[in-house]
């Protein structure tokens, strides 16, 4: 449950500065979505595009809707191995439109502090400063400890193969 203060903070109107911060935090030289607009273009031609970008982003946050086309993605298959032919030998990436990326970045910035208080300490992946390897290391240490106990009967562990869900663990 979030506090009333946090609820007010994340539901308050966004500022132009928040929009600009979101745009500036987008990586340069990234592939564009179906709109063919990159963050580098948006930043480089900000004087020409700022009025329209600010208007459409504010419109989204005021009315909570956007044209369906902005949510369309371009899905690209990236081979994991040279000469890939099987579906399992590819990973997919979704390329979003630039306005969708900006809105998403603003939403993330609004809720990230609140999420830290809601996400369990056991959550290993997708949290800054934590990784899935942390939980793997913890599991390995627990298994080593159990194996070293004098009465190491009555314990069981299960290994789940996550190959299809993740390319690799870093």
Q: What is the mean pLDDT of residues 99-128?
A: 83
Nearest to 106 by CA among 28, 16, 40: 16
Q: What pLDDT shows up at residue 163?
A: 61
pLDDT digits (tens, 9 = 90+) for 65-107: 889 998 899 999 999 999 999 998 999 999 999 999 999 999 9
Is residue 137 scored above 90 in pLDDT?
Answer: no
Per-residue pLDDT band for 166 (boundaries 50, 70, 90) equals low
Give the SS3 label for residue 135.
Answer: helix
Chain mean pLDDT for the chain: 86
Instruction: Tell me how far apart the 2 most distant CA atoms of the chain are, in Å.
Output: 73
Q: Considering Cα of 132, then 136, then 142, then 145, what sign does the dihedral take?
A: negative
Give the sign of the dihedral formed by CA 25, CA 30, CA 65, CA 75.
negative
User: pTM to 2 decimals?
Assistant: 0.71
* pLDDT value, residue 139: 81
Lowest mean pLDDT among 96-100, 120-124, 128-132, 164-168: 164-168
pLDDT of residue 129: 77
Residue 59 scores a pLDDT above 90 = yes
Q: Output the six-digit token pair for 84.
A: 């890939």
């Amino acid at each position: 449950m979030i506090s009333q203060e946090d609820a007010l903070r994340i539901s308050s109107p966004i500022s132009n500065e928040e929009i600009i911060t979101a745009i500036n935090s987008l990586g340069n030289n990234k592939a564009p979505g179906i709109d063919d607009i990159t963050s580098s273009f948006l930043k480089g031609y900000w004087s020409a595009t700022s009025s329209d970008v600010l208007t459409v982003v504010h419109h989204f946050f005021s009315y909570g809707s956007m044209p369906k086309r902005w949510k369309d993605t371009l899905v690209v298959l990236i081979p994991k191995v040279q000469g890939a032919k099987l579906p399992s030998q590819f990973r997919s990436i979704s390329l979003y439109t630039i306005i969708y990326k900006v809105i998403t970045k603003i939403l993330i910035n609004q809720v990230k502090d609140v999420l830290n208080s809601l996400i369990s300490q056991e959550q290993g992946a997708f949290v800054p400063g934590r990784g899935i390897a942390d939980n793997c290391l913890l599991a390995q240490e627990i298994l080593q400890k159990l194996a070293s106990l004098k009465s190491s009967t009555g314990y069981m562990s299960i290994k789940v193969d996550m190959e299809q869900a993740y390319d690799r663990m870093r």
